[in-house]
Amino acid sequence: MKLAIPNLAGQFYKSGAWGNTTLNGLIKTTATRFPDRLAIADAPDRSNWTGGVPRQLTYAQADAEIDRIAALFRSAGLVADEIVGMQAPNSVDAVVTFLAALRAGLIVSPLPLHWRDDEVLHALGALDAKAFISADWIETRDSASSARNLAAELFGLRFVFGLGSNLPDGMICLGTMLEELGDGLACDFQEPDDPANHLTTICWSQSDPEPVPVTRTHNQWLSAGRAVCDAAGFEEGAVILLPYSLTGLTGIGAGLAPWLLTRGTLHLHYPTSVEQLGTHAITVDADWILSPGQLANALNRQLGSESGRIVAAHPVSHMRPQAHSETGSVIDLHVADEFGLVAASSCIQAALSEQSSMDHAEGNRHIHHSTHLEILVPPNAESTSRSSHPLLFRGPMVPQTGWNGTHRIAGLAVTDDGCLETALDLALQDGLFAGFSPGKPSDGLSGPRRVPEVA
């Protein structure tokens, strides 16, 4: 399913922000060049919060397992562009299965771990999902039994796959299936023309009262990853510690994509305390550690000056980021829901003034402009000396296409010049950019229209 607004796509290709590489293409290339390099590793305490023992895979092993699971999906009868829901914590099994679904030509909708049965049921039904992938258990929650029971509520849900070792009857255990089918499985899916502009995921925006589906392609995910790599200085072979599940822009855009782009090693983490995260970072000698922004200072003190650097992820919030005690060791990553992200060194926050940021006397006015993302406010917005702005996003990482499923759920809106309308405000502190805060949908935009939708 190809997603791209032609005039914007042309601009992004010309600038070099987009290309022909896919997420799975990066895995395959690295497996060929560095087959024995460690690709991915579980947290050592995995068995404390989900089923199965800790695993680690080289790039060659990961590529082979991805291919076998993709072949299993195809042999089960799932076909290209069908939607697969997924709810699983940060494990090697989950990451490999996520990539396998993409290799099979499927569209993955990763669901937040805190969603319960009614929210999962609504999302899967709205998207007309054909399969659901669930962990066996997450902490005290019997997620596998919940997943199995969903199948009785959704007529169109044909398969319920399970990750882990403690699954109830009625679920298909991916691990057991792979063992029984042996090593002869090979994925026969042929990538379509222009594969990097095909839909890969449907994540969920939380800005509105009801969750809104947000689509992304390979190119859009890789653009988000490049933005993080460029700002943070990720180098080839980077060792990255990721405490975020693959449920949205932070986990995929700032974790999975940079890992693949740097051909590095991804250590997965399930957060329970800042001390545990710091200990894990020291143990694996991480170069970069993603951390919730409010924990960055405590983590920085624990790691000391000789340890890796921190990418402090700040979600949409009314809270303002704390000043960092060692600014050179922390990169602030401001995540604007599922729309875009801005990564910048915490010591070079740019002042927002009429002279420096508002370059256009007419039309939309720039707040931020880079290769990967533009942030603008409409011409009728208040002065930037205030903190409330209905923000517009445009760029190679920004969704261009909405989604309408069988229940006609709410979609996104875009202006005629390709700006995605959000319900977010710009947060300022002493005249400096301090992140994004919840707002309300903007009014009075010149000619907003529905984003082209797929169904």
The whole-angstrom separation of Cα 344 and Cα 137 is 37
- Whether 219 and 326 map to the same domain: the answer is yes
Say which DSSP state 45 is in.
Answer: T
Would you state the torsion angle of the CA atoms of residues 273, 274, 280, 281, taken in this order, to the nearest 10 degrees?
Answer: 160
What is the DSSP secondary structure assignment for residue 140, as one 8-state letter?
T
Please indicate, yes or no, whether residues 279 and 315 belong to a single structural domain of this protein: yes
Based on the domain organization, do 134 and 241 belong to the same domain? no
* Residue 367: predicted pLDDT: 59
> Do the domain assignments include residue 34?
no
The residue from 190, 205, 238 where one domain ends is 190
Please provide the distance, in angstroms rounded to a whole number, between the alpha carbons at the two ends of the chain: 10
Considering the domain architecture, whether residues 135 and 258 belong to the same structural domain is answered as no
Q: Are residues 218 and 183 in the same domain?
A: no
Task: Confirm whether 257 is domain-assigned.
Answer: yes
| Residues sharing a CB contact under 8 Å with residue 322, sequence separation 6 or more, in sequence order | 293, 294, 296, 297
Give a yes or no: residue 85 inside a domain: yes
In a domain, 322, yes or no: yes
Domain match, 152 and 219 both: no
- Both 71 and 121 in one domain: the answer is yes
Domain boundary among 190, 206, 232: 190
SS3 content of the chain, % helix, strand, coil (to 5): 35, 25, 45
Are 183 and 233 contained in the same domain?
A: no
Does a structural domain hold residue 199? no
Sign of the CA dihedral with 97 first, then 102, 105, and 111 last: positive
Q: Which two tokens stand for residue 38?
A: 């460690």
- Supply the CATH number for residue 116's domain: 3.40.50.980
Question: Is residue 243 domain-shared with residue 105, that is, in the same domain?
Answer: no
Residue finishing a domain among 175, 190, 205: 190
- Digit-by-digit pLDDT tens for the chain (455 residues) are 555 566 678 888 888 889 999 999 999 999 999 999 999 999 999 999 999 999 999 999 999 999 999 999 999 999 999 999 999 999 999 999 999 999 999 999 999 999 999 999 999 999 999 999 999 999 999 999 999 998 889 989 999 999 988 898 889 999 888 888 777 778 887 887 888 988 999 999 887 778 889 999 999 999 999 999 998 888 999 999 999 999 999 999 999 999 999 999 999 999 999 999 999 999 999 999 999 999 999 999 899 876 789 999 999 875 666 666 555 588 889 999 999 998 765 433 443 433 334 444 345 565 566 778 888 877 655 544 444 557 889 999 998 766 655 444 556 777 777 788 888 887 777 767 778 888 764 443 333 334 444 44
| Count of Cβ atoms closer than 10 Å to residue 25 Cβ | 18
State CA 309 to chain mean position distance: 21
Give domain status of residue 44, yes or no. Answer: no
- Compute the Cα dihedral for 384, 387, 389, 393 and give only its sign: positive
In the chain, how many domains are there? Answer: 2
CA distance 279 to 265: 17
Q: CA-to-CA distance for 418 and 202, rounded, in angstroms?
A: 20
CATH number at residue 386: 3.40.50.12780
Asked if 167 and 278 sit in the same domain, the reply is no
Q: In this structure, are 186 and 242 located in the same domain? A: no
On whether both 178 and 88 belong to a single domain, the answer is yes
DSSP state for residue 95 in the 8-state scheme: H
Report the interhelical angle of 59-76 vs 92-103 (nearest 10°).
60
Domain span at residue 76 reads 49-190
* Cα 47 versus chain centre, distance: 25
Determine the pLDDT at residue 371.
77
Domain assignment present for residue 203? The answer is no
Reference 408, options 213, 121, 143, 164; nearest CA is 213
For residue 302, the SS3 value is: helix
Q: Is 233 among the domain residues?
A: yes
